[in-house]
Structure 1
């Protein structure tokens, strides 16, 4: 599987909206490429349904989304009707066809423990410079939390704009952030006193 800091490959494939070249599709935006094990399966339907419900939230953050599995375009299109019926929301993002598993294999997304050709539940968050900024990989048995992926996007975009900060556990937009070690305190910095006496827990608005 690709690592943080790697350049995302410029994937070319057929999709539910026609042929796609990944870099053209992402344009100057942030991008998310996610994989799901298989069309017409229950956990995947709930996942893509939630992602359909969150589509406008990702759009507001300038994030383009594309999905991938070892299925055909026709299967994707038929399955999309089930997703929309479940989620009561339109599927606005394209799904890439990868019937031979070539793309999934090149990205390290095939489930090696499965007797079938299944893709794991992988996520690549890609910045506008095509660098992979975050990766998530779940087994086929556990559905992901796309609200958490949205939160990670918020954190990445915020800390890119404020490189003197990092975000603490469970951080959400509007919460206090941490002053990064080695960076100077600001006027409203609060230092948490700890038994070690080290002043490394510095919070700011």
Structure 2
């Protein structure tokens, strides 16, 4: 019987985002000092000059302004050299006109990939899977997405999740299935009998029952 592989360590939701210093396509980056006061969407891709990765990175580049409008910086990574990254960025710009202006970390020693649990032994020992970390301005990990190497991400869903996290923080509410900006939100459930009675008597909110009530903000 083969020995069980050790679990891959990774940050969890609510934990501090691990700090690191690495070379990127825009110069050296120390994560603790990166994009102060902003949210960060930190994502990995398996390799430069690969088809799915090219579509994904192009998607980030084409919609970078939408992330920036949400006070969010983009940060990419793959286990390739800085020279490979630069060549790939230039190749895509020449062939499609899409320019990856956001930094892409070179992680040949896999130090950052291991730190963030981007290496999955069942998928590959030498290529990072498609991981996405949503990190708030306090450098707390708020949401994590994982995709296999063969499946591209959904950019609309990433922007929706970012908007939901920020809206929920601002208004202290939760967001229901398929929530989109402008739709009703879920109010916190009552925590006392007085709050329960107030909720039951409140005809201004949409109630399935006392514990599930929606309102328009």
TM exceeds 0.5?
A: yes
The superposition leaves residues 57-79 of structure 1 with CA deviations (integer Å, 9 ceiling, x where unpaired) of 00001001111110011111111
Alignment of 1:19-98 (within 5 A): 19-84=28-93, 88-98=97-107
Give the match for residue 191 of structure 1. 207
- Compute the displacement of 1:81 (Å): 2.6
With over 3 angstroms needed to count, the CA separation of the structure-2 counterparts of 1:86 and 1:147, relative to structure 1, is farther
Provide the residue aligned with 1:171 in structure 2.
179
- CA distance in structure 1 between the aligned counterparts of 2:96 and 2:72, rounded to whole angstroms: 20
* 2:17–2:141 CA contact under 8 A, matched in 1: yes
Q: TM-score scaled by structure 1?
A: 0.90
Give yes or no for contact 2:19–2:32 (8 Å, CA) kept in 1. yes
Is it true that 1:123 corresponds to 2:132 in the alignment?
yes
Question: Does the 8 Å contact 2:76/2:102 carry over to 1?
Answer: yes
Give the CA deviation at 1:189. 1.2
- Larger-gyration structure (1/2): 2
SS in 2 for 1:46: helix
Question: Counterpart in 2 of 1:195?
Answer: none
Per the alignment, in what secondary structure is the counterpart of residue 76 of structure 2?
Answer: strand
- 5+ long unaligned stretches in structure 1: 193-197
Deviation at 1:13, TM superposition (A): 0.3
Contact kept, 8 Å, 1:49 with 1:87, in 2: the verdict is no
* CA shift in 2, pair 1:87/1:177, >3 Å: farther
* SS across alignment from 2:74: strand
Whether the aligned pair in 1 keeps the contact of 2:22 and 2:105 (CA below 8 Å) is yes
Q: Distance in 1 between matches of 2:33 and 2:96?
A: 29
Structure 1 CA distance for aligned equivalents of residues 145 and 132 of structure 2: 5
Aligned residue pairs total: 199
- Cα deviation, residue 174, structure 1: 0.9
Once superposed, which parts of structure 1, at least 4 consecutive aligned residues long, lie more than 3 Å away? 82-89, 183-188
Structure 2 residue ranges without an equivalent (≥5):
1-9
Mapped to 2, the partners of 1:93 and 1:128 lie a distance apart of: 18
Contact 2:129 2:147 in 1 (8 A): yes
Give the whole-Å Cα distance in 1 for the aligned partners of 2:120 and 2:53: 15
